[in-house]
Structure 1
């Protein structure tokens, strides 16, 4: 199992296991090529499509704990959803603000990864809570506002969705995603 996790997720070249933020890939048979070397690291930007992005999200233990799902990914945008469960609520019965912060952080970074082919990490974000999050589902929609050479600015709208599908905007976030370098160490 340890060896399988180091190889990649579902056989997707360049998609590492673990936290989804810079895992080292190695071939289980010791081969050294551009896909499997100790120098190759995976980031959100190495993801070719929604299915691969969903595998990266699924490899994040905390994302599994809160039940997060990536429902769209591409062209500088990403949408993350999670069910509003009783164990994610705070003392007044609303979705805990930390869960909204988690959703914003991941949606912002996935949106940046959908826009660039660089290794990325969240440099920081702010979130403004507009109203309590109540309903059946939390939806975090993020998009790139500006992609620079070293920083990517993204915005995220977080909405609570009721059982009938009506959305209520409950928070907005803006984040800066730092570009660590090219998605592979050769700079290509």
Structure 2
């Protein structure tokens, strides 16, 4: 279990997520924020699908990247932002159904680099089907302040 450095981490992470225009554009919402763990929920929208009607792999990558990145951000100090250095995404099954859930978690927390993972599930008829798996490296940026919008 990971320990948050900032007692107000949940409010800080939710405020940062609210500033992400890309997440707003696709209709994603931050559903769960816990120390070392977040969930992003994305309802089905035809505007984010590819030619076969599945949610586009790029969109799946977006919510996986954000869920895992914000999981890392829950553990940082209040004056620290995070940036993705790299990630590897495996698309395991079509992302189809009325809801996608990206579950992000911290694997190893370091001072500068944080290793995370995300699992993305397509939810349909009450069943969760794993459709993508991601491993990610995050860089902690100390003293960085978010851009003004």
TM > 0.5 fold call: yes
Name structure 2 gaps, 5 residues minimum. Answer: none
| TM, length-normalised to structure 1 | 0.68
> Which residue is equivalent to 2:102?
140
Q: Could you tell which deviates more after superposition, 117-126 or 133-142?
A: 117-126
Deviations 1:116-148 (A, max 9, x none): 213211111110000001100010001100001
Q: Which has the larger radius of gyration?
A: 1
Preserved contact between residue 50 and residue 72 of structure 1 (Cα < 8 Å): no
| TM, length-normalised to structure 2 | 0.85
Question: Matched residues in 2 for 1:176 and 1:71: separation?
Answer: 23
Shift in alpha-carbon separation, 1:150–1:52, aligned structure 2, 3 A: closer
Question: Matched residues in 2 for 1:102 and 1:46: separation?
Answer: 26
The yes-or-no answer on 1:167 pairing with 2:128 is yes
Residues 85-100 of structure 1 mapped to structure 2, 5 A cutoff: 85-100=45-60
Number of residue equivalences: 139
Preserved contact between residue 143 and residue 154 of structure 1 (Cα < 8 Å): yes
Greater RCO, 1 or 2 (C-alpha within 8 Å, sep 6+): 2
Name structure 1 gaps, 5 residues minimum. Answer: 1-44
Higher strand share: 2
Residues 64-103 of structure 1 mapped to structure 2, 5 A cutoff: 64-103=24-63
